[in-house]
């Protein structure tokens, strides 16, 4: 028999007595008032409130199945139990559990089942991932956090010696292995069947709207793929094909869109123009653009003959191996400039965009003769050998190092670097000792 703490009557089933005699008091209220222990009803993992079960049991220990699985005690108990049965702490370390997934038929069946899931499932999953990341880290993707960026750079620096390392070739090989020889997502049949038709409509509508609003004298003829668009120019009455990205670059710079009327080689990008404007703002001399006489026919983007100083602005895409496959394309200009007594500074797009102030200090050093940098800032030392990047004023710094009693022992051939996702040949190094 149980004595009711409200009226003092004895009863067999307390909850039934409450329902019949004290309808204003629920079982939860009665339990909270007379039986609830300290910290009961609080999840052991996330500290949220848990649900009430009944008068006999009280509250749930965890608020959800997820918290139950995350509790270290539960995890240890599962691990110990599985170890007693199989000798392994986890089923994914048990060869008997993994073996079925190594059978091609089973793997293919699993892949097919995943692909058969409706788009709504993937969309809901992606939305949930973004929601969770925003709640936890304040960004839509955990890899956008500064902590993850720094960790990635540190790992690349330790493993490959370059914090911006990207093995583009290996990535393509892996993707091709998993996607029937396709080296990028846009080449897969799934992309062509599902994604491309939808994005193609969006691209066409966006470009047509821009042409109409700005009254540009061209007509969109065809969207060849998401990267190439065919137009007709009403000024020269010719057709031309342009990259999607280049179209918007020319739009943002208020430049002529037609390739025939304004070829690629005759235009200057916004970052390139900003570089020229900066040099002209600090120099007392006029800058010559696209000079081809100083280096025996090779073009110099910016040339100041009075002080024999030149600058090459190397765009990430147009100076990648895709457009400039020659390993010695950049190095050759450095060598000829050195022979002719020209201080040549080769600036890559990502350097100008990400380390603008450092590049400006280097230019001030050459033009204004300001002590904005030291020679130690531009050379790398390794086991009593000093490596000078040929693209950082080879003629000038070679002269200084030789004056300090150093000798040239060898030249290191150009190597591939990742520049904003594009493989690019650097300028090579000159080694002193």
Q: What is the CA radius of gyration of the chain?
A: 34
What pLDDT does residue 100 have? 66
> H or E segment at 155?
helix 146-160
Dist CA 260 CA 269 (whole Å): 18
For 218-258, what is each residue's pLDDT tens digit? 999 988 876 788 999 998 899 998 888 888 888 876 777 88
Quick one: what percent of the chain has pLDDT higher than 90?
A: 14
Which residues, listed in sequence order, are joined to residue 348 by a DSSP beta bridge? 314
Over the chain (433 residues), the average pLDDT of each successive run of 10 is: 85 84 88 88 90 89 89 88 85 72 76 84 90 90 89 88 81 84 78 76 88 90 83 90 84 77 63 84 82 84 90 87 87 91 91 88 87 80 85 88 89 85 87 87
- Angle at Cα 304 formed by Cα 298 and Cα 310, nearest 5°? 50
- Which two three-digit tokens encode residue 43? 């999840």
Q: How far is the first Cα of the chain from the last one, in angstroms, to the nearest whole number?
A: 97
Measuring CA to CA, which residue among 241, 219, 244, 251 is closest to residue 232? 219
Q: What is the number of other CB atoms lying within 10 angstroms of the CB of residue 277?
A: 10
Size (the chain), residues: 433
Domain 270-432: top CATH class: alpha beta
The string of DSSP codes covering 72-137 is: HHHHHHHHHHHHHHHS-SSGGG-HHHHGGGGSHHHHHHHHHHHHTS-HHHHHHHHHHHHHHHHHHH
* Residue 219: predicted pLDDT: 92
**126 neighbors 120 (Cβ within 8 angstroms):** no
pLDDT of residue 341: 92
Q: How many CB atoms lie within 10 A of CB 422?
A: 20
User: Tell me, what DSSP letter sits at residue 195?
Assistant: I
Specify the pLDDT at position 311. Answer: 92
The residue extents of the domains of the chain are: 15-68, 117-165, 190-266, 270-432
Quote the CA–CA distance of 199 and 194 in Å, as a whole number. Answer: 9
Residue 268 has what pLDDT? 67
Question: 92, 98 in Cβ contact below 8 A?
Answer: yes
Q: How far apart are CA 389 and CA 346, in angstroms?
A: 10
Cα separation, 429 vs 419, whole angstroms: 18
Q: Is residue 197 classed as helix, strand or coil in its secondary structure?
A: helix
Q: Name the residue with tokens 């670097």.
A: 417
What residues pair up with 59 in beta bridges, in sequence order?
Answer: 52
DSSP code for 182 = -
Q: Burial letters for 167-198: b for 16+ Cβ neighbours within 10 Å, e otherwise? A: eeeeeeeebeeebeebbeeeebeebeeeebee
Whose tokens are 């058969």? That residue is 116
Q: What does the alpha-carbon distance between residue 110 and residue 116 come to, in Å, rounded to a whole number?
A: 10
Q: Encode pLDDT of 126-163 as tens digits.
A: 899 999 999 988 999 988 899 998 998 889 888 888 88
The pairing of strands 309-314 and 343-348 is: parallel
Q: Residue 12, Cα to own-chain centre: how many angstroms? A: 67
The answer to whether the pTM exceeds 0.75 is: no
């Amino acid at each position: 028999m149980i004595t009711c703490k409200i009226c003092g009557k004895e009863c067999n089933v307390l909850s039934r007595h409450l329902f019949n005699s004290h309808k204003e008091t629920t079982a939860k209220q009665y339990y909270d008032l007379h039986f609830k222990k300290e910290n009961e009803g609080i999840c052991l993992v996330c500290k949220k409130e848990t649900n009430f079960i009944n008068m006999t049991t009280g509250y749930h220990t965890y608020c959800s199945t997820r918290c139950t699985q995350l509790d270290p005690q539960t995890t240890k108990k599962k691990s110990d139990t599985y170890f007693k049965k199989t000798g392994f702490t986890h089923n994914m370390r048990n060869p008997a559990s993994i073996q079925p997934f190594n059978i091609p038929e089973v793997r293919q069946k699993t892949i097919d089942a995943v692909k058969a899931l409706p788009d709504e499932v993937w969309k809901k999953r992606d939305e949930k991932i973004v929601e969770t990341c925003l709640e936890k880290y304040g960004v839509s993707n955990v890899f956008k956090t500064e902590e993850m960026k720094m960790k990635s750079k540190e790992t690349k620096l330790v493993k490959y010696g370059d914090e911006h390392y990207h093995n583009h070739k290996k990535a393509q090989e892996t993707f091709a292995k998993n996607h029937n020889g396709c080296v990028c997502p846009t080449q897969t049949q799934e992309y062509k069947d599902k994604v491309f038709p939808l994005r193609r409509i969006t691209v066409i509508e966006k470009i047509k709207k821009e042409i109409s609003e700005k009254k540009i004298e061209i007509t969109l003829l065809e969207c060849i793929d998401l990267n190439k668009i065919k137009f007709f120019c009403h000024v020269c009455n010719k057709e031309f094909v342009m990259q999607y990205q280049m179209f918007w670059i020319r739009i943002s710079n208020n430049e002529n869109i037609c390739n025939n009327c304004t070829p690629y080689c005759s235009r200057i990008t916004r970052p390139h123009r900003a570089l020229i404007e900066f040099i002209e703002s600090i120099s007392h001399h006029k800058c010559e653009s696209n000079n081809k006489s100083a280096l025996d026919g090779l073009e110099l983007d910016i040339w100041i003959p009075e002080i024999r100083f030149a600058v090459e602005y190397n765009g990430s895409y147009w100076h990648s191996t895709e457009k400039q496959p020659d390993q010695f394309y950049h190095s050759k200009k450095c060598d000829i400039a050195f022979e002719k007594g020209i201080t040549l500074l080769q600036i890559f797009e990502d350097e100008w965009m990400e380390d603008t102030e450092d590049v400006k200090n280097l230019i001030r050093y050459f033009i204004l003769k300001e002590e904005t940098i030291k020679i130690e800032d531009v050379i790398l030392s390794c086991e009593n050998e000093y490596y000078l990047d040929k693209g950082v004023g080879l003629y000038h710094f070679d002269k200084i190092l030789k004056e300090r009693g150093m000798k040239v022992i060898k030249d290191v051939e150009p190597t591939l670097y990742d520049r904003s996702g594009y493989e690019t040949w650097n300028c090579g190094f000159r080694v002193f000792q």
